[in-house]
Amino acid sequence: MKIAIVGAGAIGGLLGAHFARSGQDVVLIARGTHLAAMQQRGLTVRNGDGEFTVNPRCTDDIAAVGGCDVVFITLKAHSLPALAPTIGSSLWGSTSVVGAMNGIPWWYFADRHLEAVDPGGVIARNIPLKQVVGCVVYPAASVVEPGVIVHMEGNRFSVGEPDGSKSERVQSIAALLTAAGFKAPVQSRLRNEIWLKLLGNAVLNPVSAVTGATLGEMFQSSEGRQLVRTLMEEVASVASALGIELPVSVESRMAGAAAVGDHKTSMLQDIEAQKPLELDPLLGAVVELADGIGVSVPAIRALYGLAKLRDASSHRKD
């Protein structure tokens, strides 16, 4: 099977490396020094069991998605609108597009548009819904140097059709992931799982970006725990108003996060690297939805404002 990874950074590179090792024909689409290193020395993945190196085709040409059976989009969600027209014009009509990104995905609602997720509707216009397969990403990985990825934990990629059906194509994508060494359950209620992941991403990531705290540090004080609880309860209230049943409670989600210990969230790593933050598809979407359905989220709204300021200040020129 021919596979393309658009945005072959930490998660995309992890996927692509495993696909290549399992014998699939994969092309990694990346840029900068990471791309140059992969082209020159291959892509190395390190984990608790050791490391392995693969040498798939690597390029910065998005048109390379043309002719692929499956395209995984593993970009930061705020990067997709600018690239959607090029991706869409290069796709073949038979290609399945797996959106493996954080936040509320652009395809989530059939009856409403979220400006925070898809400004001006550019993604929806260019990537046909009929070609989309949903995905919730659980592994934690980071690019520790160009061409080298450290896989810290997690090996699950839940997949599902937007309409909840267990189609032949979603089952083939799950089989592809399983053959590459991942757990890939096919979920008929993927929207519930998206909100469970969002419960953490919309709270823990921006709190860490604003405060500089690791996951462990957020839960060391009663004030920190109460802050996280309040924020998660507001996110859960929006989900509930939309008819979403979260698979676990807020307390259970907090306990799971606290157990991770002194881990820097991806958003804190982005602050330290002075990279733009993935705020709108996470926090902005929750605020926009809350406004649209009349749910009060004062703490989330305050966190969104603080995180926006932190993002802007981290890019301020001296």
Using one digit for the tens of pLDDT, what is the confidence trace for 209-231? 999 999 999 999 999 999 999 99
Question: In the prediction, which pLDDT does 136 show?
Answer: 97
- Domain ranges for the chain, please list them: 2-188, 193-314
The residue annotated as part of the active site, out of 2, 183, 197, 275, is 197
pLDDT digits (tens, 9 = 90+) for 51-79: 999 999 999 999 999 999 999 999 999 99
Pick the more confident residue, 269 or 291.
291
CATH code for 193-314?
A: 1.10.1040.10
Give the whole-angstrom CA distance, residue 34 versus residue 28.
11
For tokens 């519930």, the residue is: 192
What's the pLDDT score for residue 282? 94
Residue 114, Cα to own-chain centre: how many angstroms? 17
Q: Do 118 and 148 contact (CB within 8 A), yes or no? A: no
List, as one string, the DSSP characters of 8-27: -SHHHHHHHHHHHHTT-EEE
Q: Is 166 a catalytic residue?
A: no
pLDDT confidence of residue 259:
86
Q: Which residues are CB-neighbours of 11 under 8 A, at least 6 positions away? A: 74, 100, 137, 139, 141
Q: Which CATH number fits domain 2-188: 3.30.56.10, 3.40.50.620, 3.40.1280.10, 3.40.50.720?
A: 3.40.50.720
Burial (CB count within 10 angstroms: exposed 0-12, middle 13-18, buried 19+), residue 235? buried
* Max mean pLDDT range (233-237, 266-270, 273-277): 233-237
Q: What's the pTM?
A: 0.94
Interatomic CA distance for residues 17 and 53, integer angstroms: 8
Of the pLDDT bands very low, low, confident and very high (cuts 50, 70, 90), residue 317 is low
